[in-house]
Structure 1
Amino acid sequence: MKVTQHIANAAGKSLFSFEILPPLKGQNIQCIFDNIEPLMEFKPPFIDVTYHREEYEYKELPNGLLEKKIVKKRPGTVGICSAIQNKYQVDAIPHILCGGFNREDTENFLIDMDFLGIDNVVALRGDAVKSEIYFKPEKEGNQYASELVTQINNLNNGIYLDADLQNTNKTNFCIGVAGYPEKHMEAPSLDSDIHFLKQKIKNGADYIITQMFFDNRKFFDFVAKCRKEGIEVPIIPGLKPISTKKQLNQIPHRFKVDLPDELIMEVVKAADNETVKEIGIEWCIAQSRELIAAGIPVLHYYSMGRSESIRKIAATVF
């Protein structure tokens, strides 16, 4: 079922959903199930599965040439989505990136998803690999998420890369895209970021899911700006409880997200990370309650492979 249908069927009730990471290469599907199992009692209508590009580094050989070596890989998004849908009878939503795919790769990925009966995808540009400062698209690949949305929407209309194909099957994907309440790190301003977000909706996106934020006012202001610009699709907030003191520096650095002073001071005064985890849970509970009271259709939690904190939040809120 499409995300937009789940929202419509909820008839105003706020739904619970979450996102998982594929396991590192060498691990099996059971580590995914171990993360999902504690959260199933809250009846998530869908679960997002991220896609991670290969991370690599270059090593200089004795002959002076550089050897490219893969240092980390999280394979299995297609298989994980299929396993989740088969085991739990909930919709699994794969993330699909511009980075790492040319357009033919993208088309084949989407065909596989269609064969598996997957109704939703999240279209993302993706980040630069760690060895690069700026994002570099693949040769003959989509450069922007808006282009990726167009390609998916074309398939929904039976338009394939090979224009000579006849009697083509139309896919029926519900397309999600990312939104940034505090703007994307590369955007010159929030207004310009929303301008390009609007283009993704125009190209066929059906809903928006946001980057994490810790101040609900920024989310509400973001939604108001989107609505003013004529963006009417559902906007789903992404939430993550802070869990370690290191994240006070890591989150602003990696995601360009501000942390409220009140939260920062509570974490700074905490005796240990167990205390920080409890502070993060309570903060996220307060955020969740306010969002539900405002009638937000879905609350989406970034579990990052750990379900304990998310379970405590959901048990209190849902």
Structure 2
Amino acid sequence: MTAAELVLKNKETKFSFELLPPLKGNDIEKVYKTIESLKEFDPQFINITSHREEFSFVTNDKGLIEKRIIRKRPGTVAVAASIQNKFGIKVIPHIIGRGFTKSETEYALIDLNFLGIHDILVLRGDDTHKDKYPARTEECNQYAIDLANQVNDFNRGKYLDGTANEPVATPFAYGVAGYPERHEEAPNMDSDLLHLKAKVDAGAEYVMTQMFFDNKKYFDFVDKCRAIGITVPIIPGIKPITTANQLTILPKIFSCEIPEAFAKEIRKCKDNDAVKQVGVEWCTQQSLELKKHGVPIIHYYTMMATQSVRKVAEAVY
């Protein structure tokens, strides 16, 4: 059963969450501990993020400045397989376009197909190195719709080298990202919604929203999606704030607004322990309201906030 099929059959609000792969050189035990702390809430699936390359400048042994490409969190496919095999919980690895060549994407799909993992989240990826690697840029899927079309071709047995095989026995089912407060690069909300509809029309079975802190933004977004013919499930993604600096960092990185009532309470906090409590309370109220409105599932972005997510889940599920 695909993730979308699981969501559609829900008669009550279910739980899911997102994890980051361990940093390069670390083992998977911390990931396991996170899952152990949340598995009692019966997660329907666990998303595994994927991360493109970053770069640093170092002085080489000749005294020259050298640019080096690094990957801080490799192993999305391996982590996904390990989790699914150990816990028997559906995993949804992220597959991103920018920062990965089409060939790398194809090999990731080959590996996932071999491992029996057929649910993925298709994302464009952050544009953190705009114009830094023009040659590599030509080799990547520039937009999520391009990546979705590569997945569609793979499902049909069409490979990059031009060879054609039988369609895969179990085709990949995929979701895409949606932005209740508009993608930062979209000129307006209507344009953003049209791009989202194109991804759904290409084959996306559900929409996973970017984090939001005002449920009205989500409800309005759903209404606008339905009005233009997007009928797939739209999964709300939320996060408990845990540190005072997230008050400025999260809006900047994720292009989301933090309501003044919430921001005011955070500014009153004397330390991050107090911030965590306020964050849990706000996220709990968001969750309860979403649950009251009958959303089939709520997705939590853990982002090093496992204990806060657990406290929210204890109050909601």
* TM-score above 0.5: yes
CA displacement at 1:167 relative to structure 2: 3.5
Partner of 1:3: 3
Superposed, 1:178-189 pairs within 5 Å as 178-189=177-188
Q: Aligned pair in 2 of structure 1 residues 190, 134: CA closer, same or farther (>3 Å)?
A: farther
Contact 1:157 1:171 (C-alpha < 8 Å) held by counterparts: no
Q: Aligned pair in 2 of structure 1 residues 85, 252: CA closer, same or farther (>3 Å)?
A: same
Partner of 2:299: 300
Partner of 2:159: 160
Partner of 1:206: 205
CA displacement at 1:94 relative to structure 2: 0.5
CA displacement at 1:164 relative to structure 2: 3.3
Q: Aligned pair in 2 of structure 1 residues 111, 222: CA closer, same or farther (>3 Å)?
A: same
Q: Which runs of 5+ in 1 are unaligned?
A: none
CA displacement at 1:272 relative to structure 2: 1.5
CA RMSD, 1 decimal:
1.9
Counterpart AA for 2:6: H
Partner of 2:36: 37
Contact 2:121 2:175 (C-alpha < 8 Å) held by counterparts: yes
Structure 1 residues 265-294: Cα deviation after superposition (integer angstroms, max 9, x where no partner): 111111211111010101001000111111
Partner of 2:283: 284
CA distance in 1, matches of 2:60, 2:183: 38
Superposed, 1:104-183 pairs within 5 Å as 104-129=103-128, 132=130, 138-183=137-182
CA displacement at 1:242 relative to structure 2: 0.9
Q: Aligned pair in 2 of structure 1 residues 227, 285: CA closer, same or farther (>3 Å)?
A: same
Q: Does 1:103 align with 2:102?
A: yes
Task: Give the number of equivalent residue pairs.
Answer: 316
Structure 1 residues 175-195: Cα deviation after superposition (integer angstroms, max 9, x where no partner): 110000001111111111111
CA distance in 2, matches of 1:53, 1:260: 31
Q: Aligned pair in 2 of structure 1 residues 279, 152: CA closer, same or farther (>3 Å)?
A: same
SS at match of 1:182: coil
CA displacement at 1:8 relative to structure 2: 3.0
Contact 1:35 1:305 (C-alpha < 8 Å) held by counterparts: no
Q: Which runs of 5+ in 2 are unaligned?
A: none
Q: Aligned pair in 2 of structure 1 residues 104, 132: CA closer, same or farther (>3 Å)?
A: closer
CA displacement at 1:99 relative to structure 2: 1.3
Superposed, 1:182-261 pairs within 5 Å as 182-261=181-260
Counterpart AA for 1:7: V
Contact 1:19 1:48 (C-alpha < 8 Å) held by counterparts: yes
Contact 2:158 2:165 (C-alpha < 8 Å) held by counterparts: no
Bigger shift: 186-195 or 159-168? 159-168
TM-score, normalization by structure 2: 0.94
Counterpart AA for 2:55: Y
Structure 1 residues 114-173: Cα deviation after superposition (integer angstroms, max 9, x where no partner): 1111121000010123x5489977322211101111111222223322333344535411
